[in-house]
Amino acid sequence: MADVTQAQAAQRARQEAREKQRQMWLERVGKELQLAEAWDANKRPDALAKRLDQMVELSNKGEMLTNADKTDIRDRARALKLRSYERYLDSLLERTMAATRDRTAQDVKVELLKEVNEIFSSAVRFGTSQAVKDSVKERLEIIRQTSATGDSRKAKEDAEREAQRKEATHQNEHRTFTRWRDPPLTVMIEGRAYTTIDWSLGGLLIADVPERNWQPGLVLDVKIGLDAAKAHPEKVEVVRYMAEEKRLAVKVRRFASVLMQVKRECDAAGLEPSE
């Protein structure tokens, strides 16, 4: 009997040590991904992509990580890699438009357009959305039609079009992950069920939330799922509250959050999230 007890104790000790190693690994990965999120949008992201690929490769070899951990790391790295290329592409298009209006910078414009094509091809390869593809094509058309003089009526019209496009799209450029509207998720806050307007692997925008002291940085214990019966507990942090629309924006505070699990449940149920 004593031998059995000792064997069980030894097994628990091994499991606890393995879990400790797992958590330490996930913490290192989380820090690495935070650095990736802060990547300069004006800096070509090839080196970042290579670093993320190496991190995924090492994680796949980590015996202490579960298959779910490895999938989460791969998915988040892929999303960050894609977002870094999309942001750099946006920066390139901005610089190309500026060069287009400058008669002395037409050689620069040619080189920028070459790089735009390279980065756009990479973004497409990494799975950029149709909305981004359409936006890039529209902006390239604006660049093609824009006069280099900068003072003709046509050039002014083009500049106005670009300004309107920026106003409509740049308000969301800080987002790292694709936002999905469908399927909507159920979020339980203090026992009450709310529905998402959209969600991503990094956070949620929740509808019809009554006014309260929703201060940025406030940490909430919530449950998130495809429905209330299958909701998973999670801690989230308030980003902002929009009083007029009664919308609450929150973000997850840790790597491998339940939003990864919810995404897998969508996949298993044949529910393809859509923007």
**Is residue 266 packed enough to be buried (19+ CB in 10 Å), middle (13-18) or exposed (0-12)?**
middle
Task: Extract the tokens encoding 191.
Answer: 């026992």
How many degrees, rounded to 5, is the angle at CA 189 between CA 216 and CA 172? Answer: 45
How much is the pLDDT for 256? 54
Tally of CB atoms within 10 A around 60: 13
pLDDT at 170 over 50: no
pLDDT tier for residue 174 given thresholds of 50, 70 and 90: very low
Report d(CA 250, CA 219) in Å as an integer.
9
Q: Which of 11-15, 194-198, 218-222 has the lowest mean pLDDT?
A: 11-15
Domain boundaries, the chain: 1-176, 186-268
Of residues 247, 267, 275, 75, the one with CA closest to residue 180: 275
Q: What is the pLDDT of residues 17-65, one digit of tens each?
A: 888 888 888 888 888 888 888 889 899 999 999 999 999 999 998 888 8
Residue 182 has what DSSP assignment?
A: B
The per-residue pLDDT for range 74-97, each reduced to its tens digit, is 988 998 899 899 999 989 988 998
250-267, pLDDT tens digit by residue?
988 765 578 878 888 888
The answer to whether domain 186-268 has CATH 2.40.10.220 is: yes
pTM listed for this prediction: 0.60
Helix axes 67-100, 258-268, angle to 10 degrees: 100
Q: What is the mean pLDDT of residues 110-135?
A: 90
Query: What are 219's strand-pairing partners?
Result: 237
Could you give the CA distance from residue 110 to residue 214 in angstroms, rounded to a whole number? 49
pLDDT of residue 237: 92
Q: Supply the pLDDT for residue 50.
A: 94
